[in-house]
Amino acid sequence: MSSAFRNLLEDPLAGVRSAALRMLAERDAAYSLPAAFYNDERLFQLDLQEIFEKEWLFAGMTCEIPTKGSYFTLDVGDNPVVVVRGQDGAIHAFHNVCRHRGSRLCTRGSGKVAKLVCPYHQWTYELDGRLLFAGNDMGPDFDLHAFGLKPVHVRTAGGYIFVCLGERAPAVDEFLQALDRYLAPHHMDQVKVAAESSIIEEANWKLVIENNRECYHCSGSHPELLNSLMEFDDTDDPKATPAYRDMVARRQRQWDACDLPYELARFGKRNRMTRTPLLDGTVSMTMDGKPACGRRLGIAPGVDAGVLRILHLPNSWNHFMADHAVVFRVLPLGPQRTQVTTKWLVHKDAVEGVDYEVETLRKVWDATNDQDRRLAEENQRGVNSRAYEPGPYSPTFEFGVVEFVAWYAERMQANLDEHGGTLR
């Protein structure tokens, strides 16, 4: 952008950057963060700038935009984004902002269009972002080519769509290749969203993710989930018992026989994926552990696929079973306000009322989400007290939380350094 258009207002976060770096440098990695990271408006703005506007984010699934012109929108902080399938079938992502006077272009959560038409003065864009039409009143020198939509980095793999609003997107190829490989048996080109929920949690997004990264709270809070979920992350879990390891080894022999990837794969601290068994006698995260859907997600009849668990920091966790999958997206709305969107996927030809009932499909994670919402909100209220001080994480139960917070601290430090925010 030309310097003539620079915003000459002072950077309100200038002092906050060095304060954040100092607090992160001085923190005890085995303890939760200082309260400000969970409730301060300025540190929230920093999270938006340095994490959500620079890192890869899970946006949605390719099955949500199956045909050309289908799109969905999401907000990354103050940045409206539109993800759309182009004429040639390729998926594009743009800042959902008109290049005329900045109106939001697509105002609905999802839809299907022939072109992207601004609701304000009807500037019209091709699905690949080119400005096609701006009326006849923009003057003789008006250059359509100079006013295309601003692109957002977008990558797809295994049915997932990730976006990155940063100028330069972090390397992600290895993770995407693995995602393709782990999800290939689930035939992700043949899924649909059968149900969706979006809840608001009155808690900082990091409290929402921290809560998800441990099962210390599971026995006290998640009776429905524990009908099928085992409380171990994987065989590396410090709490894994010999009986659990034996069970895993037996299942892994079966998974080997039918080419279902299961090894624990890690991509830095940002991504992990692994297939783990569900509780003996259960095959799905339902109240009775039985399948919620009669049509399977690509898995051969009779094969117990366990659950493929996929983590993508900062904003997604996922569970793939033989009959259905549940994908989660977290978006920050405010220092103490977070949106958690859950989508239940089934085979695209599965018929509601015949192959599955939405209530059966949703029940466990609707209950679990609501329980987790309460936990995060109570956590937030306590953190806001003057009595709060960072507390110790359990090394055997909360190693996943330690890892998330370490990832967060590392990315903040690296991205702030890039910004010139180094400690002086």
Establish if 92 lies at the interface with ligand 3BY (CB under 6 A): no
Q: Report whether 325 contacts 318 (CB < 8 A).
A: yes
* Residue 3 structure tokens: 């310097």
Residue 309 contact partner, candidates ligand FES, ligand 3BY, Fe ion, none, CB within 5 to 8 A by sort of partner: ligand 3BY
Shortest distance in whole angstroms from residue 74 CB to ligand FES: 20
Interaction pattern, residues 219-258, with ligand FES; x per rule: CB under 6 A: ----------------------------------------
Of the CA atoms within 13 Å of residue 166, those in its CB half-sphere come to 19
In the bound complex, which residue of the shown chain has the CB atom lying closest to Fe ion? Answer: 372
Residues 23 and 1: their CA atoms lie apart, in Å, by 33
Cβ neighbors of 304 (< 8 A, separation 6 or more) are 251, 254, 277, 283, 322
The distance of closest approach from Cβ of residue 144 to ligand FES in the complex, given in angstroms and rounded to an integer, is: 13
Among 16, 59, 82, 98, binds ligand FES (CB under 6 A): 98
C-alpha span between 116 and 128 (Å, rounded): 9
Identify which of residues 137 and 349 has a Cβ nearer to ligand FES in the complex: 137
**By CB under 6 A, residue 215 contacts ligand 3BY:** yes
**Which residue's CB is nearer to ligand FES, number 136 or number 385?**
136
Least distance from ligand 3BY to the Cβ atom of residue 212, Å = 5
CA–CA separation, 191 and 343 (whole Å)? 12
Q: Of 317, 320, 356, 404, which one interacts with ligand 3BY (CB under 6 A)? A: 317
Phi, psi of 311 (to 5 degrees): -115, 130
212 counts as binding ligand 3BY under rule CB under 6 A: yes
Q: Which residues bind Fe ion (CB under 5 A)?
A: 372
Contacts 24+ apart (CB under 8 A), 11-16: 12/42, 12/45, 13/42, 13/45, 13/46, 13/49, 16/42, 16/43, 16/45, 16/46
| Contact status, residue 284 vs residue 324, Cβ threshold 8 Å | yes
Residue span 120-149 as binding mask against ligand FES, x where in contact by CB under 6 A, dash where not: xxxx--------------------------
Among 42, 100, 153, 348, which residue interacts with ligand FES (rule: CB under 6 A)? Answer: 100
Provide the minimum distance between the beta carbon of 134 and ligand FES in the complex, in angstroms, as a whole number: 7
Query: Could you tell me if 352 and 364 are in contact, meaning their C-beta atoms sit under 8 angstroms apart?
Result: no
Tell me how far apart the alpha carbons of residues 45 and 50 are, in angstroms, rounded to a whole number: 9
Rounded least distance, CB 326 to ligand 3BY, Å: 9
Closest CA relative to residue 55, chosen from 309, 422, 368, 415? 415
Q: Give CA separation, 282 vs 189, 216, 286, 288, 326, in Å.
A: 26, 22, 9, 8, 16
| Residue of 19, 218, 265, 279 that binds ligand 3BY (CB under 6 A) | 218
- Among the listed residues 45, 70, 103, 254, the single contact to ligand FES using CB under 6 A: 103
> Which stretches of the chain bind ligand 3BY, using CB under 6 A?
212, 215, 218, 309, 317
Q: Which residues bind ligand FES (CB under 6 A)?
A: 98, 100-101, 103, 118, 120-123
